Amino acid sequence: MKKLGARIVSRANRRLTVGLAAGILAASSLVGSVLGIIREGLLNSTYLKTYPTGIDAYTVAFLIPDFMFFILTSGALSVSFIPVFNERLIHGNKKSAWELSTSMVNLFAIATLIASILIIVLADPLVRYVVGPGLDESGRGLATAMMRVIAINPFLFAIATVLASMQQAVGRFVFFSLAPLFYNIGIIIGVLFFTNGINIFGVQLFDGGIMGVAFGVVLGSILNLAVVSIGLLGLGFDYRFKIYWKNRGLRKVLALLPARSLDQGIDYVNSIVETNLASRMAAGTIRAYQQASMLYMMPVNLIGVAISTAAFPKMTERLASGQPDLFRKELQSVMRIIIWLCLPVAVVAFFARGYVVSFIVRGGNSLIANLLGILVIAIVMRAVYHIIARSFYAQQDTRTPLYVSIFAIALNITLAILFTVVLNGGPSGLAWAQVIVAVVEITILCTIMGRRIPDLFDTKFMHGLGRMIGAVLLMGVVTYLSVIMLPLGAGDQSIFVALPKFLGITFLSFGAYLGLSKLFKLDEANPVVTKIKGGTVKILRAMFRQYKPPEGGNV
């Protein structure tokens, strides 16, 4: 059994191609999205209608711990660390690579541990004055208590992120992609079991309720770290409880890190401002906006983040080995694939938003559906952002995306306050501000990168983009008619009724889009069509081999 386990781990930890890595990341993101829907459905069915203040407090409790994680670690580390780490491995300097890795683990563990302690100490004023000033007294008390529990997350996630970045750099994606699934599983366990309280050896830690979900979050973080750690087996990582300050790679990462960390942190400041504004609206608004944002970010993570994460290490290798032309071609190819996949998803999400919301809120929720209908406009821009930003990071330029982010977040906050406070636009004002900023930010980044890389947005690329838009507009007609043919009735509260209708709409829409893509000669459709044809032929051959004519009959 041990040998079998070792063989499985060894095969899972082998280096993957970009295509296979993107497939694994997309598949894990899809499973993660399903688990996320289950998690949110359980939370909503338990608390959304019966205890809206409590569910708002739960949402607020995450903001500061997540902010500290994003500003100190998160994507900031991976995009700053991977190019430098790869540089050392390509030139055969493993000693420097391991010194860099062990230094990053220790440095970020210390930094986030200090941050976690500060969050525990300052939780009350942070909730009262920064993230939840509009909550009532009981809501603020609950948010403070849950924030103190969740405060350990930055520490656990920081270590996991360094370990995951090492694996990404060498083309290992399996355990790195599986880890977030266990984070969701931990929260689901919290909803199902910890809400009844936790009793250890006769000692009652707490009485239960929504506080149990906070302990489930911590369990999920521990499971996430444990799974990521398995991906280190066979890598040869030489850990030392030491920070190698003289390591040139460490100095280079630390020089690149502040700009990207500020970029991540400033981006999250926007979430804090949005939550602050939403807390002043009706009870449940914070949760509704968070739910709509989560649903619209699912395809962004499934497509944009997964493909960009898989492509990024190879892109850094292209530049490190002096192949800028191949870098340009790969960037073009990845952008086209992301756009081609995201366009139909955005259209289906817009027309079928009522079905999507019904998966996480029994009977649906008009506020979440309306917010989602606005936010889906930004799906393509947000997905493309991840690969275009990484093109700057691959060039070891973290400052340009930072400057653009500072402008974008300032614009977002200004528009959010204008639309909600001055114009009384309510939650919809928050959504429109985000859409406008997504368009502005991606336009600026693409313009700058287009000037750096001649012919990045050449005639061929723009013609392809035009054909994609034509195909998706015609597909939109099919989607609209499908929604009319398969309406979501007032009595369709069960997921077992809504899901088949949604799948039918999706199948008809994507079938039409695939056919139109072939008609418009879009290369992105060819691999899908080839696989469908191959699968159909295999099925027909299998049926033919198994078919036995009746006795005395002819074939």
Cβ-count burial 144-167 (b if 16+ within 10 Å, e if not) = bbbbbbbbbbbbbbbbbbbbbbbb
By C-alpha distance, which of 382, 290, 320, 371 is closest to 345?
382
The confidence score (pLDDT) of residue 431 equals 95
Q: In angstroms, rounded to a whole number, what is the distance separating the alpha carbons of residues 65 and 71?
A: 10
CA 20: distance to chain centroid? 19
Q: Tokens for 83, please give them.
A: 């190019």
Per-residue pLDDT of the chain (555 residues; tens, 9 = 90+): 555 555 655 555 555 566 676 677 777 877 887 888 888 888 887 776 677 778 888 888 988 998 888 777 765 566 677 778 877 877 778 888 888 889 988 998 998 999 999 999 999 999 998 888 888 888 899 999 999 999 999 999 989 988 888 887 777 777 878 888 999 999 999 888 887 766 665 566 666 678 888 999 999 999 999 999 988 887 778 888 899 998 888 888 888 777 666 766 677 788 888 988 998 888 888 889 989 998 999 899 888 888 887 788 778 777 777 777 888 888 899 899 999 999 999 999 999 999 999 888 877 788 999 999 999 999 999 999 999 988 888 887 878 888 898 899 999 999 999 999 899 989 999 999 999 999 999 999 999 999 998 888 889 999 999 999 999 999 999 999 999 998 877 666 667 778 889 999 999 999 999 999 999 999 888 887 777 766 554 544 554 454 444 454 443
Give the list of residues 6+ apart from residue 268 with CB closer than 8 angstroms, or none.
Answer: 66, 67, 70, 71
- Residue 343: which of 516, 504, 528, 472 has the closest Cα? 472
pTM score, whole prediction: 0.74
Q: Bridge partners of 198?
A: 206
pLDDT at 6: 53
Residue-by-residue DSSP string for 501-533: HHHHHHHHHHHHHHHHHHHTT-GGGHHHHHHHH
Listed by start position, the domains of the chain span 281-547
- In degrees and rounded to multiples of 5, residue 204 shows phi and psi of -85, 110
Counting other chains too, the contacts that 163-166 makes at CB distance below 8 Å and 24 or more residues apart are 163/105, 163/225, 163/228, 163/229, 163/231, 163/232, 164/78, 164/228, 164/231, 165/77, 165/78, 165/81, 165/82, 165/85, 165/104, 166/85, 166/101, 166/232, 166/235, 166/237
Cα–Cα distance list, 261 to 78, 97, 273, 405, 409 (Å): 11, 22, 18, 11, 14
Q: Do residues 63 and 275 lie in contact, with contact meaning Cβ atoms separated by under 8 Å?
A: yes
Spatial distance between the Cα atoms of 367 and 354, rounded to a whole number of angstroms = 10
- What is the residue type of 466? G
- Cα 236 to its chain centre, rounded Å, is 29
Helix (H) / strand (E) element for 283: namely none
C-alpha distances (whole Å) from 501 to each of 326, 498, 508 are: 43, 5, 11
pLDDT of residue 209: 79
d(CA 243, CA 10): 29
C-alpha to C-alpha distance for 533 and 514, rounded to whole angstroms? 13
Residues 6+ apart with CB under 8 A from 27: 177
| Tokens found for residue 23 | 């497939």
Provide the terminal-to-terminal Cα distance of the chain, rounded to the nearest Å.
49
Question: Under DSSP, is residue 117 helix (H, G, I), strand (E, B) or coil?
Answer: helix
CA-to-CA distance for 225 and 280, rounded, in angstroms? Answer: 36
Give the C-alpha separation, 55 to 288, whole Å. 10
